[in-house]
Amino acid sequence: MHQGAIKNATDIAAALKRDQPKHLSLVDDPNSKWAVLTKQAHRIYQYRLTQHNLSSKDKEALMLARNELLALAKSLKAMSAVQNTIIED
């Protein structure tokens, strides 16, 4: 039973990779620039939550940096989506 489930899962994964539209390729790319920026923003937020010896100014600075990274990530994601749409047409 497990072998059949594994085969079905690999068949589905292969079909998704084969039939994946180009404009969705960024969604699954963990190495894209916007994904890296988003990960870093989340790391900053986690650091802020776990470090209890930070001053309020340090916490505020970390949140500002996090917000800037998220804004950059969103801009890059939108720009990449537009470029992919232009390339497809």
Token digits of residue 18: 């084969």
pLDDT band at 2 (very low <50, low <70, confident <90, very high): very low
CB 24 within 8 A of CB 81: no
Token digits of residue 12: 């589905």
pLDDT of 67 over the 90 cut: yes
The Cα–Cα gap between 38 and 19 comes to: 27
The larger pLDDT score, comparing residue 64 to residue 15, is at 64
Alpha helices in 20-32 (DSSP H): none
3-50 pLDDT, tens digit each:
555 555 556 556 555 555 555 454 556 568 888 888 999 999 999 999
Domains of the chain, residue spans: 21-88
Alpha helices in the chain (DSSP H): 2-19, 33-50, 56-88
Averaged pLDDT, 45-67: 93
Predicted TM-score (pTM) of the model is: 0.59
Beta strands in the chain (DSSP E): none
